[in-house]
Amino acid sequence: MDVRAIIVVESATLEDLSFRHTKQGNGSPYALAHVLGKPLIFRVIDRLRQSDICKINVVTDVATEFWPTGTAVHGNWASVSKEQLWKSAQQIFDDHSREGAEYLILLRLGPYAEIDYRDLLQFHFHHEQQVTTVADERGESLDVCVMSAAHATDSVTLLEFAKSQCAGEVYPFLGYVNHLSSPNHLRQLAIEALMQRIQLEPEGEQVKPGVWLGRGAQVHKRARILSPAFIGAGSRVRAAAVITRCSALEHHTVVDCGTVVENVTTMPHTYLGAGLDVTHSVVGHSKLFNLKRGVEVEFSDPRLVGEASSRAPLRAMGSLLALASFFPAQLLRGLFAPSHRECPTSLPEAIAAAPAAALETPAPIKATAAPAVDAGEFPSHLAVARRYGNE
């Protein structure tokens, strides 16, 4: 039995680059987002291959610069214009039909669903329909359908599917579904995977119960990682940082000294500056979306939230420059300035024989009033303590 698949990935329809609705902060859809170390579309392709569906085409109008690394080993990818998206999908469909494919699974990513494609195909065979669509327990379409290629060589079926009007038998899917229509859904997907409630598994080594590290991730010995948590490949968690409450740091994220990360998902190559409290958010591309307030903030100062370099030498140079900026000028002058010390001269005998002033009877101490503090001046003796979210 020859079964093939076509995956259609549409770019978001909004003009602005934001986290809202179905796309990341760089404008690409959540279908291409990394979740616990692997892009969602790669997870869908792996699931298809587990059902012996190995001939997979991906058609998208997303620019190639936003494609995840590794597309060459995850199907045949084609970049087309938005106007040609469904025409290109139809051409691929026709090519598969002429090559002798018997059935074709068409997916439009959007929702993430842990579908058993073998069971879906058995349902399609049993009902002997030309088209079988997939819906969740509430009857909402999951943008997945099975078509009998030998009986659907025209463009009508694909165009109906594109308009979400594809008729046919409905396969009721009762498993896990995440519609991925907002940053909250993206965050919820990471939480449920870290809590091991779904089949999606973190890509990394579980170094202790509930804590996964990707390849090359480095955590300072004075940093704290509280399970469950995920630290992606090539990421850096520096001294005194705290990662807690199902936080997921995707690959090459840098969390600087003393920063607390609580219930947060970071996009790849995100930099979080020193001494921050970042909570209940999705962060990336110099933007932060707060999940509780539904507010998105863009940062112009890269020392707070910015982009981390993907190149190790540049990251190392950045760390050295950041460290050097903390050295006071006085220390540098003390290290490198020439010495001006002079040899002490001998003291007169009378002075040398006199008792030290510190040994004499101390004078009575007079109480003095503390100097008044100007209302506009921050008192130098005032201490500020921050209570961490995990304590």
Express each pLDDT in 22-80 by its tens digit.
556 565 788 899 999 999 999 999 999 999 999 999 999 998 988 998 998 899 999 99
CATH 3.30.70 fits 202-312, yes or no: no
Q: Environment class of residue 353 by beta-carbon count within 10 Å: exposed (0-12), middle (13-18) or buried (19+)?
A: exposed
The torsion angle over the Cα atoms of residues 111, 117, 123 and 129, rounded to 10 degrees, is: 70
**Using an 8 Å Cβ cutoff, are 127 and 84 in contact?**
no
pLDDT band for position 335 (cuts 50, 70, 90): low
pLDDT band for position 209 (cuts 50, 70, 90): very high
What is the spatial distance between Cα 217 and Cα 225, in angstroms, rounded to a whole number?
A: 13
pLDDT of residue 86: 87
pLDDT of residue 94: 87
**Using an 8 Å Cβ cutoff, are 261 and 242 in contact?**
yes
pLDDT of residue 350: 46
Cα-only R_g, the chain: 31
**Own/partner long-range contacts of 141-145 (Cβ < 8 Å, ≥24 apart):** 142/110, 142/111, 142/113, 142/115, 142/173, 142/177, 143/107, 143/108, 143/109, 143/110, 143/111, 144/105, 144/106, 144/107, 144/108, 144/113, 144/115, 144/120, 145/105, 145/106
Question: Model pTM?
Answer: 0.76
For the chain, domain boundaries:
3-178, 202-312
pLDDT of residue 136: 93
Q: Lowest mean pLDDT of 151-160, 167-176, 237-246, name the range.
A: 151-160
Mean pLDDT taken over the chain: 81
CATH 3.90.550.10 fits 3-178, yes or no: yes
Task: Output the CA–CA distances (angstroms, integers) from residue 259 to 195, 278, 292, in the order listed.
Answer: 24, 8, 20
